[in-house]
Structure 1
């Protein structure tokens, strides 16, 4: 137990370093693309679990994003499972505060092939928006107006997304890749003019604008090395995420839509995780990442400077 407490304190301490977790709207924690997956040589596994996750992330500007997520995984038969994630988010920053239900994640995962050393899994899924990503605030900075806030402050991405992925898992290694495609644009109308009393115009204009944004296509790759012991495990890995097509939005001040320069490219994180199993049913896991690179232009509000994720998992 002393060893466990020491490890937890070390990981919590890393919260104050520059780090970035999954900044891709969440598809890198769905189904076959999840980190720290268990491997078994048995084919017939019915996985049922409930995971309670607390997440804290700081943005490139002042907003701090918190989330509590309930993650259900339900075994359908010996080879497949269904996952649903229900997050509640609250955000605080210089432009205002916001809170509410986040986007709902649904995914179906199937064991495609099992050998003596590897399991191959495939996932199909979707993200369902809970609002149109156009929440407003009314405070001293807005001059008494109801002003839409930037995507950093929104609890939803405001779009329907399609997701697919595949992974290969052994006792020591996890390789996963996936794709996320935004099918619709959101209704975010954030504008610098909505905050006429904000005292620092130069800071305000650091919030990249993208009215009625449709995000480009994201492709991820996860490479993870795991070390497993009787009651605990830890891992090191890399998570590059490429936005391979440009975001698209209304050009501010016009009714024309256009592709946005600077929105493609790679966001790279180096990740570390620690897990402790109290018994066969109860465990905890902690994930922390170090930010290496990012995209130049981020109107979607997904970029994080610092991320820490702590989970309690009950398997039944």
Structure 2
């Protein structure tokens, strides 16, 4: 999560732009207020701040020359909410400096800070500078998305898992899930057994129903058979969510697919078409509802 904060002469430090947008839907108003208040005591340069175990930031405070500001300088700060356990702060500082250098080379960039209260007859210029600024913020955000850790590992005693019957997610994973969720309200979760391991997939999902279709075969699964299954699934015209792939179990092949059923409730035709395929032994159709 990335924030561009500036000093508004009327209300004080304020967020001009954030990635993702609507940051207030992800972190609390109190946390946002604390981050903005960092500007009150900041001096130009890079610094970090730990508000709590869950909220840490890397920041770069700087000044922008401005023909419109009272002191001919605008105060601004770029802030990254640290989500990694071991962040590369040197890389943070380097990328912040590159970003600031790029926008400072734009002589009229200060006008972007007036996007929410544009002076009369300057709207077009302000919009142009704001677009330039936000595009560079997005590019900086993409750098952090690439460099930050993409996996997270923990070790848990099974006795605790069995006793609690729940799996606690680390705080940074919860923050990532909130970002992915956007306007959707639910997550679709798939648990898949793979020999001696279990795999868990978590996907943002807006509906309250999921359709699961299991196709069970005798013997091996030929490429032609797999193609025929794919054709039947395509003919349903339903958004595809997940497939287990081909699982071999005791001489049988099992192919499972999950779909968004939309408003459709009758899948008897789909079942009949799948049963016509060679070596198909059984078709199972299950409706999964929001718990």
Q: TM-score, normalised by structure 2?
A: 0.28
**Higher Cα Rg: structure 1 or 2?**
2
User: Which has more strand, going by share of residues?
Assistant: 1
Greater RCO between the two (CA within 8 Å, min separation 6)?
A: 1
